[in-house]
Structure 1
Amino acid sequence: MIENDKIPVNSKVLVWARESIGQSRNHVVEKTGINLRRLNQIENGEKHPGLEELKLLAKTYKRTIATLLLREAPQEKPLPKDRRTIDSKDIGKFHEKTILAVRKARAFTQSLIELKTDAGIAIPKFKYSASVDSNVDELAQTIRTDLNLNEIRELENINDILEAYIDKVESLGVAVFQMSLTQDNLRGFSIIDEDIPIIGIKRGSEKPTSKIFTLFHELGHIVLNRGGLCDLSIKTTSEIEKWCNAFAAEILIPKSDLLSRDIVQDYKYKQNKVWLKKDLIELSNYFHVGPLAILRSLLTNKLTTSKYYNEKHQVWNKPSFGRSKNPKGRDIAKETIREKGKNYISLAFSAYDKNRIDIKDLSDFLGVKLSYIPKTRELLNSR
């Protein structure tokens, strides 16, 4: 192919597209088959790519060809701050799947705002704020009372409980999405630089009780106005992460409520600090959290020992803990509703039913092919 058949592009846009998804040139060579010398020439502006090369690059960078043809690289908001408890050499480095999850959450939020605005639904302005010096117990209790979280105790199905907690948090003017976070040991993230704050929680193998704790940990970040990408490690030295963990714990396991439980009173009276698993499970079922979260609260209140807690933490916090032994095939409709939330999906279908958007728009809002729309509606109506 002669050079006249190539497509003029701004090489800086191509470099931006690659770097914005955290890919090295060697990775692009492996993914596209374009040799390194050729890629260097394209990125240095010495040569222009052909159409097939441009298609390969667009697919690899998860961008449209139109984006790669822009005259200048667009300004994009950065990733939230890295708040993982990992070796410092890895701080700020993320897998492309993580970057895409954040990018998707930002896009979902703009779509959610569009759907609500079009439907005439006002989005409340998030009103809570604090610093790491604020009394975490008092603030957690205030929010717990404002949201009337006690009424969720009446629910029995843990997935219904998770949805109810998400509804409560969204009522504060927060967008909540369940994202595919399969890399970088992430449990969740929070974004504070959009028109409304965003919480992303890990879906998939994550247990509902773990998702619930992550939801309120990330809400803590929004209260502090300090977003981030988090692994929720209890070994963190970050005061922000410690505060958010304490905030989530007090929201979900109020100290006064925990200490008033008969089973806790019994252990306290007997000065027994080694807890039976069945008793931890009984408490975890009541508070809608995992047994490890209960044990952590008991440790905070000096009702168990660090040695016993650490032993259980090693067993219960392994990456494989809680994963399905017999994973099923993908259910696109279910994934779509879990990812974007039933409120978002309901708004999209409502806009379609009222002829404010057409079927193609609905497909775009849902992020699914036309063939999956009937199944998605059927599943939504059955919930």
Structure 2
Amino acid sequence: MTWCYTFGNVHSSQMMETLKLSPEILEWAADQSGSTLEEIARKISNRRAAVITRGELTTAEAVKFSKFAGVPFGYLFLDSPPDHRKLPLADFRTLVEPVPLSKDFYATFDDIEFKQNWYRTYLQNEQVAPLDFVGRFASKQSNAIVIAKDIRHTLSISDDEIQAQKNADALYSLMASRAEANGILIFKNGIVGNNTRRALSVKEFRGFVISDRYAPAIFINGVDAPTAWVFTLAHELAHIWLGESGISDMSPSSEDKHERFCNAIAAEVLIPSEKFLALWDAVDGDVDRKMEFVRSHTKVSTYVIARRALEMGRISRDYYNQLYKRLYEAARNKDRSGGNFYNTFPLRNSKKFTDFVTSLAIRGKISFREAGNLLNTNPNNVMTFHAQQ
């Protein structure tokens, strides 16, 4: 049989042909979208779901299957699934029930890496000096307290400033803006690019980091509980100071020495151990009362306090897990709509990177089309964003 299609379009004369496709391939394709073969089959046709799962599809159904699974139409005709893509970064994840990295993760990583490489090349062409804090402790035997103090000093963040923030979002914004002022690109997004139909999964990862002496980059999974964002950011900053690139889950039960060490550094950055212990021991009562006392005197989120308390053995892992579950569920039940596009646009693309690319386009250094490609939007949005600043 001769097939003639271009970019997934199939001639109408073939739409009713019955195809015999490999159920193994269909299962693989369904898995790429985080669905099961049965789920996609039912989306296509409840009446024919059992037939579809056996690999017997009309061409029209195969086209629908390709779209639902998000894989090229031609892939459905492979004899066996393609080889797994090699991980682009070290995998520091140690989830209890590890979830394979999906195409959404890879699409997100490819997008961030593309931006980071472009920015790095531009800086090098301009002969910008490398950043001396990247890998500063890569070969030094230093403890978490020393590294945390260096991160705070480099970012010019004090206890007074942290306490002055009104909530977890404000603290995250402070940390992110100081990191970007020092040359680190900070991306936070809960979807793939600007595609609101492709939500990321916190079960896969909570963040990743690209350590680079010219253009280090951090990505924060915005699907996670907002109170956890700042801890993820501090954790990934620790990886940069250690000169490590990788995918993280920030699990408190991690057996990976890199993750455990970065967890300890992140906790120290946000609440120094000496201050935490003084506050924790200053009040009698149960854990809930102590947690609230520390929160009222530090202004950091309950989640950050729980991470600090867990790192120092003051609460059990069960207590922490239950607290995180409540915070995560509360965040999911809250209205998490994207809001104003031009407010979320620079957060998804790194405010530093967005401002830089937009400025180049305004000054005629690059075209608006190129700027749009770099920022996953159309040229008109780039111009509108600049006009609103």
TM over 0.5: yes
Q: Structure 2 residue aligned with 1:164, among 168, 174, 183?
A: 174
What residue in structure 2 maps to residue 290 of structure 1? 301
Given candidates 174, 178, 181, the residue that maps to 2:188 is 178
C-alpha deviation, 1:253, in angstroms: 0.9
Paired residue for 1:100, among 90, 97, 107? 107
Which deviations, in whole Å up to 9, do the C-alpha atoms of 1:25-67 show, x marking residues without a partner? 969x96999x89999xxxxxxxxxxxx97xx68x93489xxxx
For residue 120 of structure 1, report the CA deviation from its aligned partner.
6.5
Shift of 1:300: 4.7
The whole-number CA distance in structure 2 between the counterparts of 1:329 and 1:161 is 20
Give TM-score, length-normalised by structure 1: 0.69
Partner SS, residue 266 of structure 1:
coil
Contact 2:130 2:214 in 1 (8 A): no
CA contact (8 A) 2:280 2:290 kept: no
Pick the aligned partner of 1:365 from 332, 354, 374. Answer: 374
Is residue 211–residue 245 contact of structure 2 (8 Å, CA) maintained in 1? yes
Distance 2:303 2:55 in 1: 53
- Out of 104, 108, 112, the position equivalent to 2:119 is 112
- Matched to 2:240, the amino acid is I
Is the CA contact (8 Å cut-off) linking 2:368 and 2:382 kept in structure 1?
A: no
Amino acid at match of 2:115: F
The counterpart of 1:266, out of the listed 271, 274, 282, is 282
2:93 & 2:329 partners in 1: Cα distance? 22
Q: Which shifted more, 190-199 or 242-251?
A: 190-199
User: Which aligned pairs between 1:139-158 and structure 2 lie closer than 5 A?
Assistant: 139-150=147-158, 152-153=161-162, 156-158=165-167
Distance 2:238 2:274 in 1: 20
Using the alignment, how far apart are the partners of 1:149 and 1:364 within structure 2?
34
User: Which ranges of structure 2 fall in alignment gaps of 5 or more residues?
Assistant: 7-24, 46-51, 57-61, 74-82, 191-199
Where in structure 2 are the equivalents of 1:278-357 lying within 5 Å?
A: 278-285=292-299, 289-298=300-309, 300-301=311-312, 304-306=314-316, 310-311=318-319, 313-318=321-326, 319-323=328-332, 325-328=334-337, 330-357=339-366
Measure how far apart 1:201 and its partner are.
0.7
Say which of 249, 257, 264 aligns to 2:267.
249
CA distance in 1, matches of 2:271, 2:301: 11
C-alpha displacement of 1:246 = 0.4
Judging by fraction of residues, say which structure has more strand. 2
Distance in 2 between residues matched to 1:115 and 1:324, nearest whole Å: 42
In structure 2, distance between residues paired with 1:315 and 1:299 = 12
User: Structure 2 CA distance, aligned partners of 1:237 and 1:292?
Assistant: 21
- Matches of 1:243 and 1:169, distance apart in 2: 20
- Asked if structure 1 preserves the Cα contact closer than 8 Å seen for 2:137 and 2:147, the reply is no
CA distance in 1, matches of 2:36, 2:311: 48
User: Once the two structures are superposed, what CA deviation does each residue of 1:118-159 show, in whole Å capped at 9, x if it has no partner?
Assistant: 777545252422479641222222332233211743753544
Give me the whole-angstrom Cα distance separating, in 1, the residues matched to 2:332 and 2:177: 25
Q: Distance in 2 between matches of 1:76 and 1:238?
A: 20
Shift of 1:111: 3.1
Aligned-CA RMSD value = 4.7
Contact 2:369 2:379 in 1 (8 A): yes
The one-letter code of the counterpart of 2:245 is G
Matched AA of 1:295: A
State the 1:217 CA deviation.
Answer: 0.9
Distance 1:101 1:233, change over 3 A: same
Q: CA deviation at 1:324?
A: 5.1
Q: Deviations over 1:61-116 (max 9, x none)?
A: 489xxxxxxxxx9x9862441513223xx46x222222222122112212333554
The one-letter code of the counterpart of 1:102 is F
Q: Deviations over 1:260-287 (max 9, x none)?
A: 5xx54532xx5865525542431451xx
**Identity rate, percent:** 20
Instruction: Give the unaligned 5+ runs of structure 1.
Output: 8-14, 40-51, 64-72
Which residue of structure 1 lines up, in the alignment, with residue 12 of structure 2? none
> Are residue 198 (structure 1) and residue 217 (structure 2) matched?
yes
TM-score, structure 2 normalization: 0.68
Q: Return closer, same or farther for 1:330/1:115 CA change in 2, 3 Å cut-off.
A: farther
Q: 1: distance between equivalents of 2:264 and 2:140? A: 11
Match of 2:289 among 271, 275, 278: 275
- Note if contact 2:188-2:219 (Cα within 8 Å) is conserved in structure 1: yes
Residue-by-residue CA offset, 1:156-183 (whole Å, 9 max, x unaligned): 3544532331233345553321132335
| 8 A Cα contact 1:188 1:218, kept in partner | yes
Which amino acid is 1:290 matched to?
Answer: S
Q: CA deviation at 1:250?
A: 0.8
Q: Is the 8 A contact 1:95 1:183 kept in 2?
A: no
Residue in 1 that maps onto 2:11: none
Counterpart contact for 2:32–2:70, Cα < 8 Å: no
CA distance in 2, matches of 1:132, 1:124: 17
The residue identity in structure 2 corresponding to 1:110 is N
Aligned AA (1:248): A
Deviation of 1:347 after TM superposition, in Å, equals 0.5
What code does the residue aligned with 2:201 have?
T
